[in-house]
């Protein structure tokens, strides 16, 4: 539109670019404050100014008992996130494939997934907790908390699979079938490789949403906390920069996971683009 | 799609087998718990023990207390304020990315920049406002340094203001992503035709961009409203205990094992959220947008 009609940028471009920049500052600014504060000196407090620079509070996480069970909750969170990732990827792909057919109950399953997504987390946790209480099963991070987290990651996975399949070119599938591939071969050798970037996206959501989840996990967690619950407990009773050190660490883990996922998607896309160039032009696959 | 003809029974069974795991997980961990919350809301309470019976006392308590109405009014006010702010941000940011950024690569990079915080911890992002907005926080210090004020502003932290700021910070992504998604699908030819026909920038926005991105707007609105209505931790921490919300009050009841009254409260909240979502869905067919 206006941006294309002339060579120069219209004034609205600069106004909107300024708005966007402010928004990005708003997103990242406060986070950077706690990253800096986590390197407070041993006598430093929860706010600026910095009283020296040190790794004191990071060491305190591992050593100090009153910061809680950091190592245990951290490893539990990682293991749980990997389990949630695996289940979310498999079930979302299957459900995504299912929704390409017309079947009875499709609308009902779809609305149940959306309802599960927008259900207030604490209420869902309450329900799951009650279910385990009535069944006389003690809640634990690998059972009740796992299930509660899946009600949050699976709908996201399903929505991403919808987006992925809506851009999927059926011609590849038909070609494979015409060449005599079995349905399973078509899926494994043609469909899944083409969808791989989207599947990595589902995995990224599965991992990070589980790793940071806490309203749904709070009630059905059982006796051993995950990391976000440990942090939640700290927000109310720890008044040292150890809290920020923990925040910096957990955000760093998230950033590593995000970087790995996005880099692998970028590598796949680039390799694909290169192959596309090397060959005669054919029908384009999904992006 | 027409699946390969393999024998009718297999063809018709395939989607059911594929969707079964999702359905089972959702029924077990969403459906049954939801039903249990409704059932327990009619149970009686003897100190800390749940007594399976059928009473309406929990609801009588909920509706009989003036505190309930105050909490709902507060929560709905938060939801509407945050909804309005995130809508403006979501629309403006998406509009900039879709229509003003020329390179697709830059567009994707900027979009990712907006989404990365979504994959990090909500609690950490929330508490990061505390050193920023506090009495001796960065914001007050810069205001004093610039000379706008000579004493720190007190209303910034542990107030309605900081609660709304944290909500907007945490939830605006839920508005940006769906709006961006539907805006990116708008056919540029339609807009160019309108511009060629002499439409002003404002008319292009009101008559083309807004109607064609309404499914994204609806979806984002559902997310943001449901998230604010269901929140308890932002209001607890960011108001410094001076404000509350429906679910925050409920979490206090749960902490002292008062499950039946908490469940009655939960049922009322769910009905209100469902009515709000249904109202939005009536205006816009969200499903068509989602399932392509």
Cis peptide, bond prior to residue A49, ω within 30 of zero:
yes
pLDDT at A2: 44
Q: DSSP code of B213? A: T
Whether A119 and B270 lie within 8 Å, measured CB to CB: yes
Nearest to B169 among A26, A102, A131 (CB): A26
Nearest to A170 among B1, B6, B132 (CB): B1
pLDDT at B179: 94
Give kind and range of the element (H or E) at residue B85: helix B66-95
Whether B169 and A27 lie within 8 Å, measured CB to CB: yes
The residue ranges of chain A whose pLDDT is under 70 are 1-7, 64-68, 279-287
Give kind and range of the element (H or E) at residue B46: strand B44-46
Handedness of CA A76, A82, A88, A90 (dihedral sign): negative
Best CA proximity match to B132, nearest among B110, B160, B162? B162
Distance, CA of B286 to CA of B226 (rounded, Å)? 15
pLDDT at A286: 46
Whether B292 and A134 lie within 8 Å, measured CB to CB: no
Neighbour-count burial of B143, counting CB atoms closer than 10 A to its CB (0-12 exposed, 13-18 middle, 19+ buried): middle
Chain A CB contacts of B188 under 8 Å are: 1
Cis peptide, bond prior to residue A79, ω within 30 of zero:
no
Q: Where are the alpha helices (DSSP H) in A167-241?
A: 170-178, 183-185, 192-212, 227-237
Question: pLDDT tens, A117-162?
Answer: 989 999 999 999 999 999 999 999 999 999 999 999 999 999 999 9
Q: What is the CATH number of domain B66-290?
A: 1.10.3720.10
ipTM of the complex model? 0.88
Q: Chain B 226-265, CB below 8 Å of chain A: which residues?
A: 226-227, 229-233, 237, 247, 250-251, 254, 259, 262-263
Residue with tokens 């907790």: A129
Give kind and range of the element (H or E) at residue B217: helix B214-229
pLDDT at B8: 46
pLDDT at A282: 52
CB distance from A86 to chain B under 8 Å?
A: no
**Residue B238 near residue B33, CB atoms below 8 Å:** no
pTM: 0.89
**Residue B43 near residue B55, CB atoms below 8 Å:** yes
pLDDT at B217: 94
Q: Where are the alpha helices (DSSP H) in chain A?
A: 2-5, 11-37, 56-63, 70-98, 106-118, 121-134, 144-166, 170-178, 183-185, 192-212, 227-237, 242-278
Distance, CA of B124 to CA of B114 (rounded, Å)? 17
Phi, psi of B282 (to 5 degrees): -65, -35
- The CB density around residue A3, as the number of other CB atoms within 10 Å, is 15
Q: Chain A 111-170, CB below 8 Å of chain B: which residues?
A: 112-116, 118-124, 126-128, 130-131, 134, 147-148, 150-151, 154, 158-159, 162-163, 165-166, 170
Q: Under DSSP, is residue B251 helix (H, G, I), strand (E, B) or coil?
A: helix
pLDDT at A215: 92
CB distance from B161 to chain A under 8 Å?
A: no
Can you give the pLDDT of all 292 residues of chain B as single tens digits? 444 444 444 557 889 999 999 999 999 999 999 999 999 999 998 877 788 889 898 999 889 988 899 999 999 999 999 999 999 999 999 999 999 998 888 998 999 899 888 888 888 899 888 888 887 778 888 888 888 888 888 888 888 999 999 999 999 999 999 999 889 989 889 999 999 998 888 899 999 999 999 989 999 999 999 999 999 999 998 988 888 899 999 999 998 888 999 999 999 999 999 999 999 988 887 766 665 5
Best CA proximity match to A223, nearest among A118, A99, A140, A152? A140
Instruction: State the nearest Cα–Cα gap between A254 and chain B, in angstroms.
Output: 6
Going along chain A from its start, the domains and CATH numbers come out as 58-278 (1.10.3720.10)
Residue with tokens 């959220």: B273
Q: For B222, which residue in chain A has the nearest alpha carbon? A: A118
Q: DSSP code of B50? A: E
Q: For B252, which residue in chain A has the nearest alpha carbon? A: A122
Chain B CB contacts of A48 under 8 Å are: 131, 136-138, 141
Tell how far CA A253 is from the center of its chain.
Answer: 12
Best CA proximity match to A162, nearest among A86, A97, A85, A206? A97
Q: List b or e across A143-175, with b for residues whose CB sees 16 or more CB atoms inside 10 angstroms.
A: ebbbbbbbbbbbbbbbbbbbbbbeebeeebbee
Instruction: State the nearest Cα–Cα gap between A59 and chain B, in angstroms.
Output: 19
Nearest to A130 among B22, B130, B259 (CB): B259
Distance, CA of A220 to CA of A140 (rounded, Å)? 7
Q: Under DSSP, is residue A15 helix (H, G, I), strand (E, B) or coil?
A: helix
pLDDT at A38: 87
Chain B CB contacts of A30 under 8 Å are: 125, 128-129, 131-132, 169
Instruction: State the nearest Cα–Cα gap between A235 and chain B, in angstroms.
Output: 8
Distance, CA of A175 to CA of A190 (rounded, Å)? 10
């Amino acid at each position: 539109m206006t941006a294309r009609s002339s060579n120069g940028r219209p004034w609205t471009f600069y106004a909107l670019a300024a708005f966007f920049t402010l928004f990005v500052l708003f997103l990242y600014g406060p986070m950077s404050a706690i990253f800096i504060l986590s390197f407070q000196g041993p006598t430093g407090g929860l706010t600026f100014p910095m009283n020296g620079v040190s790794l004191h509070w990071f060491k305190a996480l591992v050593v100090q008992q009153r910061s809680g069970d950091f190592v245990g909750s951290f490893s539990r969170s990682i293991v749980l996130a990997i389990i949630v990732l695996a289940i979310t990827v498999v079930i979302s792909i299957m459900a995504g494939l299912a929704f390409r057919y017309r079947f009875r109950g499709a609308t009902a399953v779809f609305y149940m997934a959306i309802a599960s997504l927008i259900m207030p987390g604490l209420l869902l946790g309450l329900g799951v907790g009650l279910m385990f209480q009535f069944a006389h099963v003690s809640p634990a991070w690998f059972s009740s908390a796992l299930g509660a987290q899946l009600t949050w990651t699976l709908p996201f996975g399903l929505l991403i699979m919808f987006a992925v399949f809506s851009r999927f070119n059926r011609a590849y599938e038909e070609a494979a079938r015409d060449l005599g591939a079995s349905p399973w071969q078509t899926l494994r050798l043609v469909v899944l490789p083409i969808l791989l970037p989207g599947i990595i996206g589902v995995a990224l959501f599965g991992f990070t949403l589980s790793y940071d989840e806490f309203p749904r996990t709070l009630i059905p967690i059982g006796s051993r906390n995950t990391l976000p619950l440990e942090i939640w407990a700290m927000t109310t009773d720890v008044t040292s920069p150890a809290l920020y050190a923990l925040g910096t660490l957990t955000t760093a883990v998230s950033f590593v996971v995000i970087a790995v996922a996005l880099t692998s998607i970028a590598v796949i896309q680039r390799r694909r683009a290169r192959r596309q160039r090397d060959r005669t032009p054919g029908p384009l696959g999904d992006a | 799609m027409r699946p390969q003809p393999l024998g009718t029974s297999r063809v018709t069974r395939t989607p059911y087998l594929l969707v079964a795991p999702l359905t089972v997980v959702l029924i077990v961990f969403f459906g049954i718990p939801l039903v249990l919350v409704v059932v327990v809301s009619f149970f009686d309470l003897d100190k800390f023990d749940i007594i399976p019976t059928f009473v309406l006392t929990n609801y009588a308590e909920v509706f009989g207390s003036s505190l309930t109405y105050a909490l709902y009014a507060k929560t709905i006010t938060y939801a509407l304020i945050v909804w309005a702010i995130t809508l403006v941000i979501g629309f403006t940011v998406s509009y900039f990315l879709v229509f003003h950024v020329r390179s697709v690569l830059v567009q994707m990079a900027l979009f990712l920049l907006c989404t990365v915080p979504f994959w990090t911890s909500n609690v950490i992002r929330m508490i990061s406002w505390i050193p920023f907005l506090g009495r001796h926080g960065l914001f007050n210090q810069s205001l004093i340094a610039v000379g706008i004020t000579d004493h720190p502003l007190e209303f910034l932290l542990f107030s309605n203001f900081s609660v709304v700021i944290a909500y907007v910070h945490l939830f605006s992504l839920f508005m940006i992503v769906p709006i961006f998604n539907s805006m990116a699908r708008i056919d540029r030819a339609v807009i160019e035709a309108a511009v060629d026909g002499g439409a002003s920038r404002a008319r292009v926005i009101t008559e083309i961009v807004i109607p064609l991105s309404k499914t994204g707007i609806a979806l984002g609105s559902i997310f943001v409203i449901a998230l604010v209505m269901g929140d308890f931790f932002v209001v607890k921490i960011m108001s410094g205990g001076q404000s509350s919300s429906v679910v925050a009050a409920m979490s206090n009841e749960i902490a002292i094992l008062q499950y039946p009254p908490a469940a009655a409260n939960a049922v009322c909240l769910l009905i209100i959220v469902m009515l709000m979502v249904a109202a939005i869905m009536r205006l816009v067919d969200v499903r068509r947008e989602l399932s392509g």
